[in-house]
Structure 1
Amino acid sequence: MITTHKSDLEGTSRDASGPGWTSLRLLVKSDGMGFSMTETRVLPGAVLTLEYKNHVEACYCIGGAGTVTELDSGAVHHITPGVLYAPNAHDRHEVRNDGTEPFHLICVFSPALQGDEVHGPDGSYASS
């Protein structure tokens, strides 16, 4: 059984951030679950261009709001609390927060993240 409190992870290598985002890695590869889970915040004004070439991801919004744009098709999805989005085909996408509060997500990645990754120049994480 794995139990942890997020306060035990804050300020450690599992507390990752980059321009416009923070991500607390609640479960990582070394936990042996086969997937990772993060508590992620996209900060107000942030626009993130992402393409997870080595992972699939599912994100569930628990606070704030934002948009996710599929860059190949131009389809725009409005994400609010209770909405899940999953770029299941390694979709190149843009996550935007035009609001005044963080866009708060719980995200699951497969394969699992190591825990200290940050996005590369192409918006992806390196393979785990």
Structure 2
Amino acid sequence: MIVRTLENCRQTKRRVVAENWESVRMLLKDDNMGFSFHITTIYADTETHIHYQNHLESVFCMSGEGEIEVVGGKTYPIKPGTLYILDQHDEHFLRAYGGDMTMACVFNPPLTGQETHDQNGVYPLMEET
């Protein structure tokens, strides 16, 4: 059994901070569960371009509001209780309005822990370090 707290994970290298967001990676590839689990904060009044070409992601909004705009497609509002699933490697823009958004995220394949978006919004496939 693995037991971790969000606060403990925040105090380790499991907390990754970028310009528009931060992510606490609570469950990673080396935990051997077949997926990774993260609590991610999207900073208020930001826009992040994301295109997970190597991963599928499911995201549940726990707090805050914003929107997800699929490139070349629809824009969907996000508020607490909204789940969106990037099942087609959907390229998108994620925006938070008026305050931070807190999201619970699941990735497949799992992340190793230190990934950040490249210039195209992609997380590269990485080996454990």
**Pairwise TM-score range, normalised by the shorter structure:** over 0.9
Matched, 1:124 2:127: no
Q: In the alignment, does 2:8 pair up with 1:8?
A: yes
Find the aligned partners of 2:47 and 2:70 in 1 and give their Cα distance: 13
User: What is the TM-score normalised by the length of structure 1?
Assistant: 0.95
One-letter amino acid matched to 1:85: Y
Equivalences for residues 1-128 of structure 1 within 5 A: 1-73=1-73, 75-99=74-98, 101-128=99-126
Q: Which digits, 9 at most, give the CA deviation of each residue in 1:62-98, with x for residues without a partner?
A: 000110000122x010011111001110010000012
The percentage of counterpart residues that share the same residue type is: 33
**What runs of 5+ residues in structure 1 fail to find an aligned partner?**
none
- Supply the distance in 1 between the matched residues of 2:17 and 2:123 (Cα, whole angstroms): 13
Give the whole-Å Cα distance in 2 for the aligned partners of 1:26 and 1:69: 27
Name the count of aligned residue pairs.
126
TM-score, length of structure 2 as denominator length: 0.94
Query: C-alpha separation between the residues in 1 aligned to 2:54 and 2:113?
Result: 15
Shift >4 Å, 4+ stretches = none
Q: Which runs of 5+ in 2 are unaligned?
A: none
**Structure (1 or 2) with the greater strand fraction:** 2
